[in-house]
Structure 1
Amino acid sequence: MLIHNADCKEIYYPSSYEEVVNLIRKANEQKLTVHPFGLGTNHIGKQLFADVCISMSKLNKIIEISKSDLYVVAQAGVSVDMLEEAIKSEGLFLPFTYSGTLGGLASTNKPSIFSLLYPYPKDFILGAKIVTGNGEIIRSGSKTTKFSSGYKIWKVLSGALGSLGIYLELIFRLIPKPEMIAYAEVEDPFRYISLRPWGILSTVNSAKITNYLIFGGFANFIKKVSEEYSINFSEGLPKIDLECEKILGIITARGEEIEVLRLFQKGIAYVGAGYVRVCDPNALKLRDKGYTVIIEKGCQDDEKCFGFSYSTFKLIKSALDPNNIFIAGLD
């Protein structure tokens, strides 16, 4: 059965933690490979072939929302849209845009449109409940941002695409819901850095660079900025997406995103996050210059999708998944 970009012999939709644990233990006993996913909307890398695919979509309960302490505890299968709707009435906000589950948001760790203040989801994860490759449940982290003892295993899993373990529950830090979010097209976005915009999103199309300035906060403040700097704001977020058969992500130094973007004909730069996404396969040549370039979409079997390998990652993999049952397409 083909689901998103994985070919699965069997697909399971567990509705309890015990079911997830039993599936993992069975996979160990029978030497089966496992691919965890949420809704299957944000696959990164090449097509996978797994004996067992585990969807977390039925583990979709919001366990606790704390308005006073600004956090939420929710199961990994809760969709970001569902969470946003639930916390909106409490005057709270999760500053990330993602078309999937909270587990997927954490596992992909994609850059935020609010890139200057809130670059990556990993920065907002306070803790998690995790299933390891041994079928053991680990609780790591805390509901407080001042927690500092022990290993931050929940951070290690973020961005690992499900190759180290499976998120069961996540604790996300929240912020007060802004009265208004607005954006404007500007010539020089860095002129407004002192005003603390939430994000700068730059796009290139046929060598033309367009910069979007994004603000969140009180409506009166945004109105004042508009009047003082003669900026025409539109409420909401710019409708920008990258549509192409092959999408490559380039990791840059923060502040150099737009300069890297200028090298290509079509792409998006998340200024402040150190990340640029383009459609040009020639971006792979930047690996020879020391850049990390990830083939997010359209990676072929004969290509290195991620282009990097860390000895530390291998050590963590051997500790959390000693039988190497989790696969996620990592090189």
Structure 2
Amino acid sequence: MDVYSEEELFKVIRSAYEGGLRIQVLGKGKHGKKEGVDEYVYTRKMDWFEIRDGMVEALAGADIGEIRKEASEEGLLLPTLYDGTIGGLLATNFPSPLSTAYGKPIDFTNWVRVLTPYGGIKWKMLVGSKGVIGAISRAELRLYPKPNKIFTYEKEDFNERELEKVMSLSPLVLLVDYQGGKFRIHSSYSHEVGLKGYSVDEGVPLVEVNDERKEIIVEGDDFDTFKKVIEVSQPIYAYWIWKSGMFILFNADTDMLREYNIKYYTRDQPKEVHIKLKKLLDVKGIFA
């Protein structure tokens, strides 16, 4: 079912509440339908957005790519590489390589409105709640001056001193990935910094995403911990974005993580605080 406005979305939510139905609110439906749902509700037609005064205000279905494009034409940057809608971006609160400099989506969000069966709530705490508490309907996000160029320095098998050096230079991106027994550093800046022994390219580095690989997340934000998690779990691929607060592992040995008492979770798994809020704000459990 497509909805076209906040008013229509609220009516669907209220109807589900009164009828005891279970719904899942999606943007374009790219990121995982859940089972046991009576109705899938799509906000993709709620695609209005407006850029003004260095901000973007948008409905949940506004396309991130279109916002980035229009912002770029005005010399501005929406600091995420997320492929989807505003609602999806804020529901997941997932970092991108640019999170090193700009933070996760919650950090550049001014406010967000979430619809529940009882009405709308304007509360940033609900960013990252994975849609289990209510439906994100509208938000305002900050934009930033767009760098003229981005230079990315890359090196394999670096040492701790080299990592400290690139950190000290205030990178826009600091991405460390692991594959085939080797770590590789990707550090991006808005100007040339003259790091010796690195290959240099233009643009923001991307991470390898493969839907056939099983992805899990471990919390942490330093290289020593990242190395320990890699050593314990032996993933086929992994990456860490500095200041994201998480390590992303693919095809890791979760039995070994449990043995070493290292907690992990999946991308669509709500955090404990949001599970507690769900008990208060979604007493009938209508949101999948």
Structure 1 residues 200 and 119: CA distance shift in structure 2, 3 A: same
SS at match of 2:205: coil
* Aligned residue identity for 1:66: R
CA positional deviation for 1:272: 2.2
Give structure 2 stretches of 5+ with no counterpart.
none
CA positional deviation for 1:246: 1.1
The answer to whether structure 1 residue 236 and structure 2 residue 207 are counterparts is no
Root mean square deviation of aligned Cα:
2.3
The answer to whether structure 1 residue 205 and structure 2 residue 179 are counterparts is yes
Equivalent position of 2:230 in the other structure: 262
The answer to whether structure 1 residue 172 and structure 2 residue 133 are counterparts is no
Structure 1 residues 284 and 111: CA distance shift in structure 2, 3 A: farther
Whether the 8 Å contact between 2:176 and 2:186 is mirrored in structure 1 is yes
CA positional deviation for 1:109: 0.9
CA positional deviation for 1:287: 4.1
Q: Any idea what the Cα deviations from partners look like across 1:138-181, whole Å, max 9, x if unmatched?
A: 3x2xxxxxxxxxxxx23x22211100111111110111111112
Equivalent position of 1:104 in the other structure: 88
Distance 1:191 1:261 in 2: 23
Give structure 1 stretches of 5+ with no counterpart.
1-11, 141-152, 297-304
* Aligned residue identity for 2:266: I
TM-score, length basis structure 1 = 0.77
Equivalent position of 1:56 in the other structure: 43
SS at match of 1:96: coil
CA positional deviation for 1:309: 6.5
Equivalent position of 2:169 in the other structure: 195
* Identity in percent: 25
The answer to whether structure 1 residue 181 and structure 2 residue 167 are counterparts is no
Equivalent position of 2:282 in the other structure: 321
Equivalent position of 1:13 in the other structure: 2
Equivalent position of 2:61 in the other structure: 77
- Count residues with an aligned counterpart: 279
TM-score, length basis structure 2 = 0.88
Q: Any idea what the Cα deviations from partners look like across 1:279-306, whole Å, max 9, x if unmatched?
A: 224135424544331134xxxxxxxx84
Distance 1:253 1:78 in 2: 31
CA positional deviation for 1:113: 0.5
Distance 2:285 2:92 in 1: 19
* Aligned residue identity for 1:279: F
SS at match of 1:294: coil
Equivalent position of 1:143 in the other structure: none
Equivalent position of 2:111 in the other structure: 127
CA positional deviation for 1:232: 3.8
Q: Any idea what the Cα deviations from partners look like across 1:165-203, whole Å, max 9, x if unmatched?
A: 111111101111111122121333331222100121112
Whether the 8 Å contact between 1:130 and 1:166 is mirrored in structure 2 is yes
SS at match of 1:319: helix
